[in-house]
Amino acid sequence: MDLLLGRKHAPMIGLDISSSSAKLVELGQAANGEYVVERFASEPFEKGWITDGQIEKFDEVAEAVRKLVQKSGSRTKHVAMAMPQSAVITKKIMLPAGLREEELELQVESEANQYIPFSLDEVSLDFCVIGPSPTSGGDVEVLIAASRKDRVQDRQGLAEAAGLKPMVLDIESHASRLAMTRVIGALPNAGKDALVALFEIGADTTSLKVLRDEEMLYDRDQAFGGSQLTQLISRQYGFSFEEAEAKKLAGDLPEDYESVILSPFVDSLSQEIGRALQYFFTSTPHHKVHYVMLAGGTATLPGLKERVTELTGFASMVVNPFENMKLGSTVREAKVRRDAPSYLTACGLAMRRFMQ
């Protein structure tokens, strides 16, 4: 079976490739078991290099990843990466407990045939045993993950072109959920039974995942994101998209930016978040959440968290996946505070190093 969910290895960096940038995280572990943030860095992409998870400009993206590894100062070559959710078919199945690895493989392949709309020759297929089935005694739950080989080879080829060795190929939503287990675990009562609405605000897409304990109850993408703010800046002040993005990140914008652009954008983004929650309530038996958590670079916009709390009535917070981790000697605390929310997936990928 081809590498898709991957296994544990020695030092390994987490590399998150999104439509707007590449982000790298390397974690170590202190003697007491605490995580240590050894490195984290990002490198922006130009618009159009990656579209809908597809790498359109391979050489440019590979060069940016090379630059990122160099900038981070990491000597680690082993890398954990992720496929966009849209490129992966996942399915939980039940199989009898006690099967040997080869028997499991055969069973998984015959089951996979039913769920995958491509010939098995065209896909990379992997599986992992989750644990005993909660509903049927004597069975185990097995997660199957499959993706078209060309999409997998694109990600692997990208790592290799940047001088890295791909060891784990995860799924983006699984990586961000892994990082979220620590964040939720730090809530009162270790987050037990809490309904957490996680909004990951990307450049073009915002995903809402509703999590409770280890389970994902709901997952839906909306077509809005941080690049809409960049477009507004570009139109208002006559900058190119790239200039507008750079000035947005540097906070280098004209005086009227806050009142003319930022405030109305924060308002409309909060309303979108409110609408997404309403849709969750009308399409499920739930009618409230305990926490609204905001991740992604746009999550730190001034006033967003407060506006979301005001509009929805639910406690809202910005996610810091590095919370309660030690910082390595090369890592600046101010940068962690400012940029942490956009490193949720990269942090989850880096954590894969310590997972069995």
Q: Give the pLDDT confidence of 165-176 residue by residue, as tens digits.
A: 999 999 999 999
CA dihedral over 321, 323, 324, 330, signed as positive or negative: positive
> Which amino acid belongs to residue 98?
G
- Based on its alpha-carbon atoms, the radius of gyration of the chain, rounded to whole angstroms, reads 21
Given a cut of 80, whether residue 193 has pLDDT beyond it is yes
Mean pLDDT calculated for residue range 177-181: 95
- Domain ranges, ordered by start, for the chain: 13-86+152-180+324-354, 88-149, 189-318
Q: Which CATH architecture has domain 88-149?
A: 2-Layer Sandwich (3.30)
Given a cut of 50, whether residue 57 has pLDDT beyond it is yes
Mean pLDDT calculated for residue range 333-340: 92
Mean pLDDT calculated for residue range 325-331: 93
pLDDT reported for residue 192: 95
Which tokens sit at 156?
A: 């692997």
pLDDT reported for residue 356: 53
Q: What is the pLDDT of residues 71-88, one digit of tens each?
A: 999 999 999 999 988 888
Mean pLDDT calculated for residue range 10-17: 93
Instruction: Give the pLDDT band (50/70/90) at residue 4.
Output: very low
Given a cut of 80, whether residue 5 has pLDDT beyond it is no
CATH level 3 topology of 189-318: Nucleotidyltransferase; domain 5 (3.30.420)
Between 2 and 211, the higher pLDDT residue: 211
Mean pLDDT calculated for residue range 27-52: 92
Residues 6+ apart with CB under 8 A from 7: 167, 168
pLDDT reported for residue 8: 47
User: For a pLDDT cut of 70, what percent of the chain falls above it?
Assistant: 97
Mean pLDDT calculated for residue range 266-273: 96
Count other Cβ atoms within 10 Å, centred on residue 227.
Answer: 21
CA dihedral over 186, 85, 76, 299, signed as positive or negative: negative
Distance separating alpha carbons of residues 277 and 298, to the nearest angstrom: 18
Which tokens sit at 264?
A: 């109305």
Between 5 and 295, the higher pLDDT residue: 295
Mean pLDDT calculated for residue range 316-322: 97
Among the residue ranges 90-104, 193-207, 331-345, the one predicted with the least confidence is 90-104
pLDDT reported for residue 1: 35
Query: CA 344 from chain center: how many Å?
Result: 6
Among the residue ranges 62-66, 116-120, 183-187, the one predicted with the least confidence is 116-120
Residues 6+ apart with CB under 8 A from 200: 176, 206, 207, 209, 295, 296, 344, 345
Instruction: Give the pLDDT band (50/70/90) at residue 214.
Output: confident
Mean pLDDT calculated for residue range 242-264: 92
Which tokens sit at 137?
A: 């005694």
Instruction: Give the pLDDT band (50/70/90) at residue 33.
Output: confident
Q: What is the pLDDT of residues 116-157, one digit of tens each?
A: 888 888 888 888 888 888 887 888 888 888 898 988 999 999
Count other Cβ atoms within 10 Å, centred on residue 303.
Answer: 14
Which tokens sit at 43?
A: 């490198």
Q: Which CATH class is domain 13-86+152-180+324-354?
A: alpha beta
pLDDT, averaged across the chain: 91
Distance separating alpha carbons of residues 164 and 151, to the nearest angstrom: 18
- For the entire predicted model, the pTM comes to 0.90
pLDDT reported for residue 332: 92
What distances in angstroms separate CA 157 from CA 62, 150, 350, one per listed residue? 9, 10, 19
> Which amino acid belongs to residue 164?
L
SS3 breakdown of the chain: % helix, strand, coil, rounded to 5? 40, 30, 30
Given a cut of 70, whether residue 219 has pLDDT beyond it is yes
φ/ψ (deg, to 5) at 253 = -130, 160
CB 161 within 8 A of CB 38: no
Are 13-86+152-180+324-354 and 189-318 equal in CATH topology?
A: yes
